Amino acid sequence: MIRIGILGDIGSGKSYIASKFGYPVFNADKEVNKLYLKDKKVFKKLNRVLPNYIKSFPINKNQVVSAILANEKNLKKIIKIVHLEVRKKMNTFLKKNKNKKAIILDVPLLLENKLNKEKDILIFVQSNKLLILRRLKQRNNFNSEIIKKFKKIQLPLDYKKKKSHFIIKNNFTPFSVKKSVKLILKKIL
């Protein structure tokens, strides 16, 4: 099985590009959302360490945002609990798809959490900063302070770019993305 990791900036279109490969995708952000909505065990753990913020189940993202904005240490507490569960979900995904030709890992902190393997094919999604900002502002949950906090825990983009085997320039047009994905698949399969 070929493991393809998608790297890039927040809002650069990683999930969109991951979906264009035509292979099973593990989307860490979607898994986090599922945990907040459906996992009582995660709620209890978060409620125990952040009782002033995480008060009700299903967990409302605004509670998480408030906790993160209130104190730098709260983000670390959330990450410690949530990432352990996401890692378990990823391992289940990998086992379930072990006979597939390829799988896509859409995990924002893939390198930071050392979830990548040496043989993984890493693809960096490069996008125009102004286009990214414009797209982020269109999201209902846009919060520039939260984005700054998340960027602080991420490795520098230049580092991720250097570590990558391929770069996809995402100008947010389906044609160019499709063409880039096709070329990459041709080289690695």
Q: How far apart are CA 15 and CA 30, in angstroms?
A: 10
Asked if residue 74 lies in contact with residue 64, where contact means CB atoms within 8 angstroms, the answer is: no
HSE-CB of 155 using CA atoms within 13 angstroms: 16
Average pLDDT, the chain: 94
pLDDT at 185 over 90: yes
pLDDT at 168 over 90: yes
Per-residue pLDDT, 133: 86
Task: Grade residue 176 by pLDDT with cuts at 50, 70 and 90.
Answer: confident
How big is the CA angle at 102 (ends 100 and 103), to the nearest 5 degrees?
A: 95
Per-residue pLDDT, 136: 86
- Residue located via tokens 């250097």: 162
* C-alpha separations of 16 from 4, 12, 125, 160 in Å: 14, 9, 10, 19
pTM higher than the cut 0.75: yes
Residue 117: CB partners within 8 Å, gap ≥ 6?
3
Per-residue pLDDT, 84: 94
Residue 66: CB partners within 8 Å, gap ≥ 6?
53
